[in-house]
């Protein structure tokens, strides 16, 4: 085992010595801009929504060095922005947003997740996206779109999990484009294109090569691109901000091995099962992480009703109530317990199906009495009181809260709820 550890350590040292570098493109612009980094994708999502309230639109998102980096740029008018992320690309969600005249503004991959942002104020009249297994196939997709309509432009590129995603948007007016792939950073080609009036539109790295797309705009703002460096170029960005330039693109050049996230090494040195990892994520309120590991655990043992219930509960806590329903139904089919009936009742309450939820809270309470000697928490009664209140059954809700208080006599929150219910019921 010692020799195996040394071998892996040597391998890691070799990998770390490979090019894992950052580059940034900064373009002349006087609009306000902010960027930040995040340890989790849920924190990234919060940043996107917070910036939207300040009339700032997410213009770049990149995952590198174990963190998410996001750039938000001020817009002159209020812009609707929505984002979606998950283990798979949200194609159905994109289709629905297209119907609302929203368009993909940013797509990226990192830490096992696809992230897509869409906005409504764009200079596009149509949009399409494609997924391809190789850059050769991606090039073919791009040229096919250009043959159909020369106003199609590449508006974003993303590589992750072995796939290329290409976003093509139809502009109101034609703008020429050119792209290049290179094993080394294509500085000379980029500078030549700058002289011809082009600007960088998007830049990506797949672990092997650099991929740069440049567009010839009617107006050609001044622009610079940083040579790749180890570590995020924070100081350089600050200097260019002071010179009235703003971040227009970021790219993290990783090694090929990064795309695998070293999952095989984690499995080698970790004795924890997917079920245990999921439980840890759930306890830490990392619901997306819990969902991911519960799904993995279910592939190993799909007949464990606890796994199906906990997957449903994690989705419920993450706000995915509709998606959670089929999982809890699977749990109940395998074995009906107080826990999964309580989970289903909570999900139905989340969907405003209060009358139906009461039936499952009733069953959860009945089964709990059968499974346990006595209640140690008033949670089940308090939750049933909440759905009774939802349908206007205040007397029934009061009875349940009183039962909950009998179990937890020092719970001030339950006592406050009882006061509210008595007021609603017109009791003194």
The answer to whether residue 382 is domain-embedded is yes
The answer to whether residue 243 is domain-embedded is yes
Query: Are 325 and 250 in the same domain?
Result: no
The answer to whether residue 264 is domain-embedded is no
Which pLDDT value is given to residue 6?
46
CB-based burial, 336-346: b 16+ in 10 Å, e otherwise: bbbbbbbbbbb
The per-residue pLDDT for range 138-175, each reduced to its tens digit, is 999 999 999 888 889 999 999 998 899 999 999 888 88
Query: Are 296 and 200 in the same domain?
Result: no
* Domain final residue, candidates 197, 223, 257: 257
Per-residue pLDDT band for 201 (boundaries 50, 70, 90) equals very high
For 148-232, where are the E strands, in sequence order?
Answer: 152-160, 163-171, 176-182, 198-205, 210-216, 223-225
Query: Are 168 and 294 in the same domain?
Result: no
Q: What is the CATH number of the domain that holds 358?
A: 1.25.40.10
What H or E segment, with its residue span, contains residue 138?
helix 135-148
Which pLDDT value is given to residue 256?
57
Query: Are 198 and 112 in the same domain?
Result: yes
> pTM of the predicted model, to two decimals?
0.59
Residue 53 has pLDDT above 80, yes or no: yes
| CA dist., res. 28 & res. 224, Å (int) | 9
Which pLDDT value is given to residue 411?
87
The answer to whether residue 9 is domain-embedded is no
Query: Are 371 and 232 in the same domain?
Result: no
Higher pLDDT pick, 1 / 51: 51
The per-residue pLDDT for range 3-46, each reduced to its tens digit, is 444 444 444 444 444 456 999 999 998 889 999 999 889 899 99
The answer to whether residue 306 is domain-embedded is yes
The answer to whether residue 284 is domain-embedded is yes
**Tokens, residue 116:** 């897509």
Residue 68 has pLDDT above 90, yes or no: yes
Query: Are 240 and 333 in the same domain?
Result: no
Which pLDDT value is given to residue 221?
80
Which pLDDT value is given to residue 20?
67
* Domain final residue, candidates 229, 257, 285: 257
Number of structural domains found in the chain: 2
* Domain final residue, candidates 217, 233, 257: 257
The per-residue pLDDT for range 327-373, each reduced to its tens digit, is 999 999 999 999 999 999 999 999 999 999 999 999 999 999 888 87
Query: Are 414 and 377 in the same domain?
Result: yes
In which domain, by residue range, is 397 found?
270-425
Phi, psi dihedrals of residue 289, rounded to the nearest 5°: -65, -40
The per-residue pLDDT for range 371-412, each reduced to its tens digit, is 887 887 889 999 999 999 999 999 999 999 999 999 888 888
Query: Are 186 and 334 in the same domain?
Result: no
Mean pLDDT confidence for 418-426 = 91
Query: Are 173 and 307 in the same domain?
Result: no
Radius of gyration of the chain (CA): 27
DSSP 300-329: H-TT-HHHHHHHHHHHHHTT-HHHHHHHHH
Query: Are 252 and 278 in the same domain?
Result: no
- Please provide the average confidence, as pLDDT, over all residues in the chain: 87
Query: Are 253 and 284 in the same domain?
Result: no
The answer to whether residue 2 is domain-embedded is no
The answer to whether residue 244 is domain-embedded is yes
Query: Are 215 and 89 in the same domain?
Result: yes
């Amino acid at each position: 085992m010692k020799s195996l550890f040394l071998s892996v350590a040597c391998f890691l040292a070799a990998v770390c010595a490979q090019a894992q570098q950052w580059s940034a493109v900064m373009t002349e612009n006087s609009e306000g801009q902010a960027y930040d980094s995040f340890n989790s994708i849920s924190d990234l999502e919060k940043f996107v929504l917070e910036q939207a309230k300040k009339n700032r639109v997410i213009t770049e998102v990149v995952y590198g060095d174990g963190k998410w980096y996001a750039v938000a740029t001020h817009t002159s008018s209020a812009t609707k922005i929505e984002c979606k992320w998950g283990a798979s690309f949200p194609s159905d969600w994109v289709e629905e947003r297209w119907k609302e005249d929203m368009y993909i503004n940013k797509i990226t991959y990192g830490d096992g997740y696809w992230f897509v942002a869409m906005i409504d104020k764009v200079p596009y009249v149509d949009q399409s996206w494609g997924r391809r297994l190789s850059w050769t196939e991606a090039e073919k997709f791009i040229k096919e779109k250009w043959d159909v309509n020369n106003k199609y432009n590449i508006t974003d590129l993303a590589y992750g999990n072995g796939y290329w995603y290409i976003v093509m948007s139809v502009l109101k007016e034609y703008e020429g484009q050119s792209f290049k792939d290179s094993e080394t950073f294509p500085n000379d080609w980029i500078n030549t294109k700058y002289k011809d009036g082009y600007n960088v539109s998007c830049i990506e790295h797949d672990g092997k090569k650099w991929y740069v797309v440049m567009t010839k705009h009617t107006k050609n703002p001044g622009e610079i691109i940083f040579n790749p460096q180890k570590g995020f170029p924070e100081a350089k960005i600050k200097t260019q901000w002071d010179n009235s330039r703003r971040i227009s693109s970021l790219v993290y050049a990783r090694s090929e091995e990064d795309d695998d996230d070293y999952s095989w090494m984690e499995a080698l040195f970790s004795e924890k099962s997917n079920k245990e990892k999921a439980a840890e994520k759930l306890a830490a309120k990392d619901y997306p992480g819990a969902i991911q590991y519960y799904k993995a655990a279910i592939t190993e043992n799909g007949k464990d009703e606890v796994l199906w219930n906990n997957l449903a509960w994690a989705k419920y806590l993450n706000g995915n109530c509709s998606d959670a329903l089929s999982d809890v139904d699977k749990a109940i089919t395998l074995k009906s317990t107080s826990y999964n009936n309580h989970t289903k009742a909570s999900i139905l309450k989340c969907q405003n199906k209060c009358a139906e939820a009461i039936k499952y809270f009733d069953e959860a309470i009945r089964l709990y009495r059968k499974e346990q000697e006595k209640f140690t928490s008033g949670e089940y009664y308090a939750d049933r009181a909440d759905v009774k209140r939802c349908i206007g059954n205040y007397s029934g809700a009061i009875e349940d809260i009183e039962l909950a208080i009998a179990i937890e006599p020092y719970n001030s929150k339950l006592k406050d709820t009882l006061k509210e219910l008595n007021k609603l019921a017109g009791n003194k």
